[in-house]
Amino acid sequence: MHNYLYIIAMNELHTLPNIIDYQTLLGALGQYKSKRDKISHLIKIGEIIRIKKGLYVLNESYRRGKISVEHLSNLIFGPSYVSLEFALSYYGFIPEKVETVTAVTTGRSREFQTLLGVFTYRNITLSQFSSGMEVINIEPDIRFMMASPEKALADFIQSQKSVPIQSPEKYEQYLLDDIRLDANLLSGVRLTELKNYATIYKSRKLFNLCEIIKQMKRGA
C-alpha cells in the first residue's frame, strides 16, 4: 500500500476507540520517527478527523459502532455536561430533533463547529453546575454526563430572556405552544428537585414554573 492505510493496519489503529486523543495516537504510531507528520497526513487524507487540538475520531470505515455525540461533547470542552435543548429533546420534552449538542460549563461560553456537528457550551456558576448531572451508560465502555430532566429544564428556562413571568396563563402558553414542551412530561417532573434549582439559581422564572407545574399536577 502506498498510503497510510498500511500504517493503520500495522499499528492496529482499527482496535482503538472511535474517539482518540493525541497521546493515544502517538502510541499507535510508536515505531515511526516523524509521528506528527504522519498524523497530519492521516488528517489530510481523511483517515482520522480532527475535532479540536489533541482530539480526533477515526474515519467511519474504522469505527466500531456509532459515535456518541453526547460523550464527544463531554470530551471537547470541560468541565461540562449535556443540557438545555439537546437534553430536553433527548428526554422527549420537545418534539423536534436538536442538531446542535448543547451543554453547560463552568468555563466561558464556547462554540465548536466540527465535521461531526456543532457543540455549544453555556457558562453557569459553579453552584449552579454542581448538582443535577447524571451518568448515562450507553455501552459498557461509553458513558456521558447529562443533566437530569429537571436540571435541563431549569438550565433552559433560566437561559431564556423572553419568559412571560407576569402572567401564569401566558407563561403556560409559552411553555406548551412556543417551546412545545410535552404537557404530560412537564406535569410529571419532580417538583422538589426543580424547586432546589430555583433556589440555587435564585430565579423567579423557575419559582413561577414550579407553581405552574403544581397546578398542572392538580389538573391531571
pLDDT in the model for residue 220: 59
**Reduced to 3 states, what is the DSSP secondary structure of residue 218?**
helix
CA 192 to CA 190: how far, in whole Å?
A: 6
Which grid coordinates belong to 143?
458513558
The string of pLDDT tens digits covering residues 166-211 is 899 999 999 999 999 999 999 999 999 999 999 999 999 999 999 9
Which grid coordinates belong to 184?
404530560
> What is the rounded average pLDDT of the residues 44-65?
89
> Residue 8 above 80 pLDDT?
no
**Reduced to 3 states, what is the DSSP secondary structure of residue 135?**
strand
Asked if 194 and 206 touch (Cβ cutoff 8 Å), the reply is yes
Position 9 confidence tier, pLDDT thresholds 50, 70, 90 = very low
Query: Domains along the chain?
Result: 5-62 (1.10.10), 69-150 (no CATH), 152-219 (no CATH)
Please name the residue that has the C-alpha cell 509521528: 35
pLDDT in the model for residue 32: 65
CB atoms within 10 A of CB 201: 19
CA 29 to CA 4: how far, in whole Å?
A: 11
> Residue 94 above 50 pLDDT?
yes
pLDDT in the model for residue 163: 92
> What is the rounded average pLDDT of the residues 142-146?
94
CA 65 to CA 118: how far, in whole Å?
A: 21
> Residue 218 above 60 pLDDT?
yes
